[in-house]
Structure formats: C-alpha cells, structure tokens
Chain A
Amino acid sequence: MLSKFNYVKPETLEDAIEFLASNPGTRVLAGGTDLMVLLRRNLLIIDHILDIKGIEGLDRLEYKEGEGLYIGAAVLVNEVFESGIIQEKYRALSQAAGHLASHQLRNRATLVGNICNASPGADLSTPLLVYNAMVHIQGPEGKREIPIEHFFTGVKRNALKPGEIVTAVTIPDMKEGDSSYYKKQARVKGHDLATVGMTIRRTAEKETFVAVAAVSPTPIRLHELEKDLKNRTFTEETALWLKDEVKKHVFPITDVRSSMEYRFLASGALAKKIMTAMMEEGVE
C-alpha cells in the first residue's frame, strides 16, 4: 500500500460532509472490504480516509409497517442476512446477503458499501432493484434521493457527486402475497463473485420485477421482459420459455471470470430455477 493517508472519524454527518468538501483526496470508509483491497493494490492513492462508523444513526436497521425498511450506511451485510424481518418481507435481499463473500467479510461489509462500489455483479443490487429501493444521499448542497436504478451509472461508477455520501437505502413496504427469490451462479460452491446474479419478484397482482447482475455494465432491470411476464402465469412451460427468452434481454461480455456464452446460459438457467422455486412455493 503506497497511500499515506490521515484517518479521521467524524461524529456528525455535517462534519463528515464538511471534511469531504475541503479534502478532495478523501475516501469514505465503512466496512473497508472493497476499499482496503483497492488501496493495497495501489489502484487508488488517497490522502485521507474518513470512517463513517462514528456517525450517529448510520447503523440503524429498522422496519416500520406501512413505511418499509430503513438500512443505514453502516449496517453490515450480516445484519441484513440475519434480520428476521428481512427474511420474512424481503426474502431475496436476505438470500443475496447470505451469498455475499464469506462470514468474516459479511461482518465488515455494508449494504451501502456494496452498492457504492457499483460492481456490475454487485450481489445486493438485484434485490434492491426489484424492490425499487431509494438511495438517500447527503452532500454539501443538502439531501437528495434517487431510485436505485439510477444510482448505478457505469462499471464501478455511481451517481454520487463530489463530496456526497450515501446515508441510507430505503425500501417500500411489501404487501401481502409479494414474493421474491434470488439466485447466484458462481465458479465454485464456496464464496465467489457472481458469474450471474438474478432476482425475480412477483406481487399478488402478478406485477413482475426482474433484475440481473454481471450481464451488463451495471446491474439492470429487464423492463420489457417484466411487462411480458405480467401477462403470463408461472407454469412449467413459462419457466421453459423464460429460460430462452431472458437471454434476449441481457448483454454479457467475456472476461477473466466467464465467457459471454456461459453468461447467457447461466442467465437462462437461473431464471428458470427461480421461477420454478417460486412456483413450488405457490406463486402463480
């Protein structure tokens, strides 16, 4: 690690934002599981590191009936994984959290950190996309919110402006009969980055949401496919149809992890398996 950085741990959000504004060579530290690797490989050289874990309220994980879920920037992935309410109401998010890296990394990594890193294959991206999560941002010009779908702007790029930080992610409340399922294809059965990651959500009114990661520069929603699925019942035939159809809606590339051809195949396989799993739970 070549970076020679100062370490600061502000106690309020205002202090943090003020520091970020006056010190451009600063990176925000939450769990550090992405940042420390970048620093170690000297892919980033920074002057200051700003630890947000001292800021009150950022570790809040709370569900309010009617309002939905609040996930503060310092909430750990393991907290998301182990949360009973998330397992119940936002099942795909719990599944995805459990598939993120290893137990030790989940004890440090944060959900907000995962989306800020904005990897095309970000594990927590697809559930947040199907739940229409909102990203809450605060910066020198004040607060703003943007839908998660607009938060990912490119490969490892997010919509934050200089000096801004994400303070929380919120997810609207889910109604009765809302079902979601997540699946990940990797190279090994042990902890690994996603070759393809996918979440499908279906409401009681058959409104369908499909999100896929690692098949385009950012994680994406398949809006065209969603419209089509609204008019179809989940059956064995639909699942078989989906296996081929989904390939027309994704844009994978070949990289060191996987070939484009396999990502097409895996997308189809995951879509069929997810739909089948949901069918087995009674989803139509």
Chain B
Amino acid sequence: MSEKQLNHIGKGYDRKDAQEKVTGQAVYVHDMEVPGMLYAKVLLSPYAHAEIVSIDCSEAKKLKGVKAVVTGKEACQRVGLYMVDKNIMAGNKTRYQGEIVAAVVAETEAIAEEAVTLISIDYKELPIVHNLDEALEAKTLVHEDLHTYEYLKGVFFPQKNTNIASWNRTKKGDIKKGFEEADFIFEDEFNVPAVAHVPMETHVAIAQADPYSDKIKIWSSAQSPFAVRQLLAKSMGIAKSNVNVIVPYVGGGFGGKAGVHLEPLVSVLSKAVHGRPVKLKMTREEEFNILPTRAGMRARFKTGMTKDGKITAMEVYHDWDSGAYADYGVNVGKTAVYSGAGAYVVPNIELHSRTIYTNKVFSTAYRGFGHLETHWAVERHMDMMAQKLDIDPYELRMRNILKPGETTISGELMYPTTGDPSACLNAVTKELNWTGRKSAEDRKREWKTGKVRGQGFAMLQKAPAMPSYTSTAAIMQMDEDGHVKVMIGAVDFGQGANTIMAQVAAEELRVPLEDVEVVWNVETDKHPYDWNTVASKYTFMGGNAVRKAARNMIQQMKEVAAQVLRCHPDELTHGDGYIYHVHQTHRRISYVKLSMGYAYENGNGIGGPLISHGIYMASGLTNPDPETGQGRPGLVWTFGAHGVDLEVDVETGEVNILKVVSAFDIGKVINRKLVDGQVFGGIVQGVGSALIEGYKFDGDSKLLNPYFGDNRIPSSKDIPDEIKAIYIEEPETAQVDGPYGARGIGEHPMISVPSAIGNAIYEALGINFHRLPLTPENVALAIDKHLKNGEE
C-alpha cells in the first residue's frame, strides 16, 4: 500500500446527490409518469394455503376504464433466483395470505382499485403449515412438486417430499471426538421473528413490453438492475439482451429490492395491454403483506467447552422460516454455513442450515443476510456459557476469537490482512470501561430504584455471500472540458456508492472532486455490469474496478502525450489536470487538450476520445464443498463489535439505550460522513429488530400487522442517547487487495446490535432472553415471571 499523501480518500465530502434530494428534484419511480402509462392494482389472497378453484373477472372487465384483467392462468411464468419455485402470480394454488392472485390494468389507479373489488374467486382452503415444527413434520407440503423445480445444483439441496427448500451443511473435524474432549456441554435455543425492510419508497415498477418483439423496458425501484434483467429474461423466456432496466433514485432497499419482485408481473401486464407502459406501485399495506421479509428463524446451539472456556465442538441447527417461497431466502440459509458460528475458532463443527417452507409471506435478502439472526444466537450463547462457566464474557470471547493462522468453520485461513476481530472487541470494552459482571447485590440495590443498568457487548463478522465468480465493471469517459463521467452498474440507494466511486476516480486521476461525476440512473443498456448492489462489497469491488478504469485512462493519455512531448510514456506522470514529464515538468499537456484526441498545429489529429474501463473479478473464491461446506466463499471479511450501556425500567419493561459504542476493522475510511451514516442507520435499524419489530400472524397464518399502526419502526425518539463509532484503520490489518485498504461496512452496523442489547439486559436484570423483540411487554412479562419464581 502506498504511503503517498491521499488527496480525496479519507475526506468527508458531501454526497453528490444531496442537492437533488433536499430540493425535491430527485425523481424516484414512485414519482414517474411515462407517456401512455396505465395503472395496475392487485388482488391479494385472503388465505394462507388454498386451491384457486375458479376466478370470475367478468364484472371487473366491464368497468369503464379497465384495460385488462390478468390472473395466474395468463401469468403462469415462473421466477426464482436460485430455486425456481414461484409463479409470478399464484397459479392453481396460493401459498400465503397476501400472495397476488389477480391484477387489473386501468386508466387510473382509482378505477383499477374499484375493478379489483369486482373480481370474485372461489377458494378451497387447504391445511396450513404454520411454523417450523409443522413444516418439519411434513404432514402438509407447501410445495408438493419441489423435486421437479429447477435449481442451482451442487449449491442448494432441496429435500424431496419435505418442506425443506435446501439443507446446507458445514462439517469440519469430528464433533463426536470434540464433545468427548469437553468438560461441559451447553445447549441453547434462540428465536427471531420475521421483520420488514420498510424502505420509505415502497416497491414500484413500470414495464413497457413491445408487442411486436421480445423487447421489454423496465423502470424499477431496484438495487440490482442486472439481476432484474437476468431474472426477468429468464422468467419470460427471452434473451437478456432484449431487456433494458432503468433505475433512477431509489428510496431505500435494505435487501428488499435486491432481487426481482414486481418486474415480471408488470411486464406481463404490459403485454396484456398491447405494450402500453404499466405502473404498479405498492401501498404500504401491500409492502408489508405481499413483499418478502427477513426470515423468521430458530437456532439451536450445542457447544462443548473445556473448563477453561475453550470451544471443543459445536453442533448447530439454523432453521429458517422462509415462508411460501425460497427466493433469496435459500441463499441466506446457505450463507450461515460459512459464518453462522461467530468470529470464533471452532475445531470441530457440524452446522446445519435449513431453509424451510411455511404458509407465510416469503423471505428474501435483508441487511446482514442472516448474520443478525445467527449472531443473536451465537453471541447470546457465548454470554450464557460465560455465565455458567463463571468466566468473564470478554475473556471467554478472547480465548476463542479468530486470529491470523486460524481457520474459519468453512476452512478459510485467516491472514493478518483478513482483519482483526480482537482489536474491535478491545476497542469496545475499553470504551465501555468494562470491569466485569455486575454483582447480585448491586443489581438488587438498583432494582429498588425501579431502574437497573447493564452493559453488554457482542462480536460480529460478515463477508459477502455471492457467486464465486462475481465481477463488476466501470467505464470512464472524459468530456471536452476535462471533466470525467464514470458509469457503474451498482445502484446508489443512499449508501453513498456514487460519491465513494467519484472520490476513488478523483484520487487516481488527481483532479478535484467536482470534476468527476458518477452518472445516475443506472441503465443496463448503457452501464457496465454489476452483479447486485448488496453484500457490502461495492466499495471493495467497485473501488478496485474504478481505480483500474482511472489508471487505464491515464495510460491512454500518457501514450498520446508521449508522442506529442516526444518521450517514452514511462517518463510521464500526472496531476493538476496535466500529463507532464517527471523531471522537466514544464514539458506538459493538459487533460483538456487530450480529451478528444490531440490536434497538432498543422491540423494532424492523433489519439481520440478518452474512454476507459476497469473490471474486477472476485479473486480466489471457491464453491463450498456440498458435503462439508469447506472452501473459500468469503471475499472480504469485516469484523466488528458492539457495546451497549442501557437501563431497564423494571416496572414497565422499557429499555432505554444510553450508549452504543461500535468498532469496525474497516481498513480504510474513504468518507467518514458516509461511513458514519451507515453506522448510525444500521445501529438504529438493529435497535428496531432488538426492541420493536416483528411480524404477527393469527391462527390462520394471516398477517395481523400490515400497517405502520401496528408494525412500528424506530422514530427519532427511539434512538440511543449516544452512539460512538470507532474505525480501526491499521495498515497491517487493512484490506491489502482493496482500494486504499478499504473494506465494506454497509450491513455490519446492524449485525449483533440485538445480541449486545440482550447481553446488557442480562447484566441489568439477571434474566436471559432467547427471543426477539425485547419489547416493553416481553421484558415486563419476563421480569414478572422471574420475580414470581422468587429469584429477586
């Protein structure tokens, strides 16, 4: 890594899109109107599991202004990222309450809304698979034809005649032997409910499907235009090159817009109205009820420990309640296989991660991609084992924490430059001033005041979960005035990717930041490929690609300049908007003079418009072994820790978070303001999962809370009193193969926030919680039970 002075990297620049967003100029698909556009509304299934016997659309079709009514019979295409298990509209049966069973296209939203009420459907209710236990019993199957579905073989493992969409495993060492070596064996079970992403802009898409060819044009509030292109083409049975996906500003994603959602449906609807553009915008209720969530999940840990607190073996079951379809959920399940036991050395492990179908709204990618859930379990489990072993929880973690030379549970070797989990834990416990557990006497004394304090902490880790050959590309072109436009395939939906890439480009090109623009509205016909904007990988991958594109542009300039200056390109350097000789610095040519080629005085022209590109291919990744999960799936690991200081009102059960301190081994902070934004936002979203959020279903698996009224998220009053972020930027442990040593951080601030809170609540109350959310109700009822059992 260069020791050179960095001009733009590390500076907290304002984000480039800020002005458009604070003036109301920024256009989102929610706002868009396209010439000739019609409006669609959908009908939801009222039943969690039912056969669709017949649909009568005749009344709906008669309503003035209705252009088409479409049901699963006409829209029978299938879609699926890894497992093609979902019809774009329910076919002969519906598998969750909320599933789309029909759609109307009309001249106005109001007409479409009225027409939907005129559709009558005959259902035959089927037995419902309510939860994981019923799913595993398999008396009723959500997908009877599971074994006939197309899926990614060797990566996912559907179990025929069950409700298991995939059974992935890690197997390392010999757990039988490991448990024999243990002095203690501890078993714990943990649960988290499904939660919603709640992007402020609901899902929305506009499709224009040419009636005379296979061409389809899509405008979508999406994170991954190239994934939309790929999956839409696949489900419609057309070539990918026929699909153009345009993404303007996006009002939040959090993983909920990572894949393909409304786009295939609106494409079919557009075809049904002879190619007129059709817009489908979800209401907030539909966003909660139709669109997928983070999976509910149950984790069972069985860990063997020596009396000195060293892990000898682990047997883990992560069971994901993925609802009616596998979508991205199945990949969340697979990911747990390489990181689902925490940032620790586990010499012997069998980890089972099962993605399971039930009759509920289905699951998809969500910030953290399964890590918040697995870390709720493992970090609470570590704390509980520390309690039983009577070892300080910091000590217990340090005795097992991953260090260089150790291997992860998927057999990946840790290098110093993989990152430093110990530094993160140390930073957090130091800031908390952790001196050990609270004594029972202190707790008893505080309890009398009605408010008890507690401190807790938890580790976190994550690497991207993506195909082993994931790549990204960037294109750069220079305008006549020497300004540079950068085209990337990733979408900036608020995480700041465009500003970061502009900083990288400006750094390499040695120009002011104002001279670089990353072009908005990613369009698959015009922008270069990026897999999905997910996984906290874009700073690393995109940064590498943009650096290469910039260096390539400089090289092109040097080659033309060398001719003009009559020297070898290697004698040239660049800066201040000039290519110039390293020694005789007055021999120079401006970028502007090279931007469209160079024109000699006599009129000869050489060179041409400056256009460059850079690509980055994920390096050295392997597919996990189907049997053992061993391999190298993790491109870049970011480690971190959260520490929490909180207070519990023992009468109302309310938890007041006084301080959160979080440390991340980020390698290099490219823009402090933007990174802070991810940290504050991720922590508060984590507080939402910890204290507030959770889907509720009734006995018929119908969603009880599809409104903000009963499905709340943190407001300005629900945030911790203080948040402190610590970024570890040590050159020895930075990401050497990343841009300036940088790693990703988009998801990590959310992971382990509930774990740290749960651990702190134990300190405060002496009560161990196994389930989220820790609402005032759940905490108060647990306290009441605890007191009735005479423990205080």
Contact = CB atoms under 8 A, between A and B. Distances in A.
A and B touch in the complex (CB under 8 A): yes
Interface of A: 1-2, 185, 187-193, 195, 243, 256-259, 261-262, 265-266, 268-270, 272-273
Given A256-B705, A266-B652, A195 B712 contact: no
Given A192-B712, A256-B696, A256-B704, A187 B777 contact: yes
A273 B110 CA distance: 49
A2 B114 contact: yes
A188 B777 contact: no
Q: What's the dominant secondary structure at chain A's contact region?
A: loop
A265 B718 CA distance: 22
The 8 closest A-B pairs by CB, nearest first: A190-B715, A269-B651, A262-B777, A189-B717, A190-B717, A256-B704, A269-B652, A189-B718
Nearest to B709: A193
Contacts of A269: 649, 651-652, 780
A257 B110 CA distance: 31
B129 to A, nearest CB: 22
B648 to A, nearest CB: 13
A187 B114 contact: no
Given A2-B114, A185-B776, A265 B692 contact: no
A272 B651 contact: yes
Contact of A261 (B110, B114, B781): B781
11 contacts: A1-B110, A2-B114, A187-B776, A188-B691, A188-B714, A188-B718, A189-B715, A258-B777, A262-B776, A265-B780, A269-B780
A1 B107 CA distance: 16
Contacts of A188: 691-692, 712, 714-715, 717-718
B514 interface: no
Interface of B: 110, 113-114, 117, 649, 651-654, 691-692, 696, 704-705, 709-710, 712, 714-718, 775-777, 780-781, 784
A190 B691 CA distance: 12
A258 B717 CA distance: 21
Output the residue of B113, B117, B652, B718 with the most chain A CB within 10 A. B652
Nearest to B710: A256
Contacts of B715: 188-191
Contacts of A185: 652, 776
B781 A259 contact: yes
A265 B113 contact: no
Contact of B784 (A193, A257, A265, A270): A265
A1 B714 CA distance: 28
A262 B715 CA distance: 23
Contact of B712 (A190, A262, A266, A273): A190
Contacts of A259: 777, 781
Contact of A195 (B114, B117, B692, B777): B777
Given A188-B717, A256-B696, A266-B776, 19 more contacts: A1-B110, A2-B114, A2-B117, A185-B776, A189-B718, A190-B714, A190-B717, A191-B715, A192-B712, A195-B776, A195-B777, A256-B704, A262-B653, A262-B777, A262-B780, A262-B781, A265-B652, A265-B780, A269-B780
A183 to B, nearest CB: 10
A190 B718 contact: yes
Contacts of B114: 2
A265 B652 CA distance: 7
A272 B652 CA distance: 11
Nearest to B116: A2
A7 to B, nearest CB: 16
A259 B776 CA distance: 11
